[in-house]
Amino acid sequence: MKVFAVLGDQRAKASLSPQMHNQALFKAGINGRYVSFCVEPARLGQAVEGLFALGLAGANVTVPHKQKVIPFLQGLSDEAGSLGAVNTIEFTDNGMIGHNTDVPGFVRALEQAGFNPFNRRCLVMGAGGAARAVVAGLRQAKAKEIMVAARQKSRAEALCRDLGGTPLGIADWGRAAKGTDLLVNAASVSTRTESPELAALLSETPDQARPAVIMDLNYGRKGNLWQALARQKNAVFQDGLVMLAEQARLSFEIWTGVLPPTSHFLSALEQ
């Protein structure tokens, strides 16, 4: 039996990854099992080296380990190296190789929403690891303009220095939203309960802001403020489930050589 794993913090225990990967393994006819582990950051090196020593077939890493895992790996794909983050580990005879499927997963999720970023204006909320994948994907797709708004403008500035784009403070959100074709929430909050400040900010989004698509990389949030904004603006809304499914199937291909249809992952998530 092939064994695969995801390493994360406490949230990994409630991750949807095991359900969708186990369904994909079953439908592909692969005798395997995908499990999740909660790993303290101080034990991350021991954890990944232990998985390699035990002969696992592959692994994912989630927040907060995507950047911290790099020193423990023997190599990086071009995507992971340029982004400075890993979400997929391939176990080879020559050691552990880090990959990043978040970037192509995001681009494919945009395709599912019917949006082509080429020559379009895009505004990203957040400056963490998810935002880095979004900005990298938009750059690859040759977006006309990429703006990054963050509560701490210094974090947006650091991201844009690495990957390109225009850094903004949170107070610039309304002005930047005017004429924007795509809004992406890559921050961790999506509801009024999580952030009254976000609710106030989005309530002040100007009438001139008419995005074609609003995407929230979070999922399963009741009272989603981004979804409400999409209804108000008559925009297409997509939550993070499609991106989750797309990046998962690309990880699956790295480990097994098999690329299942997106539906094999999405159906498990929707259940």
Residues within the annotated binding site for shikimate? 15-17, 62, 87, 102, 219, 247
Q: Which one-letter amino acid corresponds to residue 233?
A: K
Give the up-direction half-sphere exposure of residue 33: CA atoms within 13 A in the CB hemisphere: 3
Closest alpha carbon to 216 in 106, 102, 104, 66: 106
Q: For the sheet with 213-216, list strands across it.
A: 166-169, 145-150, 121-125, 182-185, 213-216, 236-238
Distance CA 123, CA 176 (A): 7
Q: Among residues 2, 13, 27, 66, which one is catalytic? A: 66
Q: Which residues are annotated as a binding site for NADP(+)?
A: 78, 126-130, 217, 240
- For the chain, helix (H) and strand (E) counts, in that order, are 11, 12
Task: Judge contact between 156 and 216, C-beta under 8 A.
Answer: no
DSSP state of 34: E
Closest alpha carbon to 235 in 263, 186, 188, 202: 202
Sign of CA dihedral 60, 66, 72, 77: positive
Determine the 3-state secondary structure of 217 from DSSP.
Answer: coil
Q: Which residues are annotated as a binding site?
A: 15-17, 62, 78, 87, 102, 126-130, 217, 219, 240, 247
Distance CA 125, CA 147 (A): 9
Q: Phi/psi of residue 8, each to 5°?
A: -150, -165
Q: Which one-letter amino acid corresponds to residue 148?
A: V
Residue 66: active-site member: yes
Would you please indicate which residues are annotated as catalytic (active-site) residues? 66
